[in-house]
Amino acid sequence: MTAAAVPLAPDIAAGLRRLKLAAMRQLAPELLITAKTQRWAPEELLRTLIDAEITAREASNARTRMKTAAFPVIKTLDELDRSACSIPGPTLDYLA
């Protein structure tokens, strides 16, 4: 049986909101339970929360950059037709 995540204390939630740590605010209640039941060291809890915030911000920044670029179609380098590309293979490999 797992315990339900208890919402963060209002002052902590307000502080995380003020610091614009949305991912941390969202994940903290559940991670606090996990940390307590698995007896994580405080550093491990902080590390996990910080990693989640960094990951969320990187994803948000990537979405914003793609939206700002206004590409008609989003593709990855894996989808690139190298035979139609004017960039030499070794150069493309280095850049990738």
User: HSE-up of 25 (CA within 13 Å, CB side)?
Assistant: 14
Residue 23, Cα to own-chain centre: how many angstroms? 8
Q: What is the pLDDT of residue 1?
A: 45
Q: What is the pLDDT of residue 35?
A: 96
Looking at the whole model, is its pTM more than 0.75?
no
Q: What are phi and psi of 40, to 5 degrees?
A: -70, 150
Q: For the chain, which ranges sit under pLDDT 50?
A: 1
Give the tokens for residue 18: 């003020």
Domain boundaries, the chain: 10-95
Q: What is the pLDDT of residue 43?
A: 96
Helix-strand-coil split of the chain, %, nearest 5: 70, 0, 30
Q: What is the pLDDT of residue 3?
A: 66
Q: What is the pLDDT of residue 93?
A: 87
